[in-house]
């Protein structure tokens, strides 16, 4: 049965996946991290050593199975939750996700996944393309220095000491590619609420979004 749909979009490091996962946990909803799906496709393409610049290389998607099990993502029944965070995947995912064929395949899967129960889905085109009928749409932002600082701290925790200027550069390049591609670029939906998280803690953002969903539920009795 179709339930409440919460769409969260925004640029890299704005907090989408962290915030969406926490909201899903608090409300006992399903969380779908669509970025993880594009990353899983990129990982498989790299492993198959196909030509990443050729759209027809991605035909392997016809026989590829991608699915979630709670917060783990599987491709062809292999748990790739860790593997999709590699530098190789991060550096190529914007190229892979720019192909209309790849997007069509994943958007279909995402739309299907949204048909059951209450969901929070995060990505770049959720409010505009995947769930244009979402009950609440949020567009998370934060200035680029803050987003880079967040990534930098994550990297340090993982034992990767990359200079902050390189982290900023990587984020700017990926945002630029994601915002300027022809097929469903990163864009705020007209009816999305912008939330600047530069000076907000994770808990504050979670609370604000839950308040928005509560208001909507009370108004429409969803």
Compare residues 16 and 31 and give the one whose CB is closer to ligand CDP: 16
Compare residues 188 and 217 and give the one whose CB is closer to ligand CDP: 188
Per CB under 6 A, contacts with ligand CDP among 21-40 are 34-36, 38-39
d(CA 100, CA 37): 15
CB 75 within 8 A of CB 43: yes
Query: How do beta strands 72-75 and 66-69 pair?
Result: antiparallel
Which H or E run contains 137? strand 136-141
**CA R_g for the chain:** 17
* Residue 130 Cβ vs ligand CDP, minimum distance, rounded to whole Å: 7
Site string for ligand CDP, 168-197 (x = CB under 6 A): ------x---x------------------x
Q: Is 48 in the site for ligand CDP (CB under 6 A)?
A: no
Residues that bind ligand CDP (CB under 6 A): 10, 12-18, 34-36, 38-39, 93-94, 97, 123-125, 150, 154, 174, 178, 197, 200-202, 205
């Amino acid at each position: 049965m179709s339930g409440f749909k919460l769409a969260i979009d925004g640029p890299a490091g704005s907090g989408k996946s962290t915030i969406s996962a926490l909201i899903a946990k608090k409300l006992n909803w399903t969380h779908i991290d669509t970025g993880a799906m594009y990353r899983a496709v990129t990982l498989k393409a790299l492993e198959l050593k196909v030509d990443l610049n050729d759209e027809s290389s991605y035909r392997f998607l016809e026989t590829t199975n991608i699915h979630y099990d709670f917060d783990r993502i599987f491709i062809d029944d292999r748990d790739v939750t860790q593997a999709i965070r590699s530098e190789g995947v991060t550096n190529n995912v914007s190229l892979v996700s720019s192909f209309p064929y790849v997007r069509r395949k994943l958007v279909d899967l995402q739309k299907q996944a949204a048909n059951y129960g209450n969901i929070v889905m995060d990505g770049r085109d959720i409010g505009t393309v995947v769930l244009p009928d979402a009950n609440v749409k949020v567009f998370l932002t934060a200035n680029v220095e803050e987003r880079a600082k967040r990534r930098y701290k994550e990297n340090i925790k993982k034992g990767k000491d990359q200079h902050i200027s390189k982290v900023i550069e990587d984020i700017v390049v990926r945002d630029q590619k994601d915002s300027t591609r022809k097929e469903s670029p990163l864009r705020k939906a007209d009816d999305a609420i912008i939330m600047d998280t530069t000076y907000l803690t994770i808990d504050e953002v979670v609370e604000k979004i839950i308040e928005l969903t509560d208001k909507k539920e009370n108004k429409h009795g969803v």
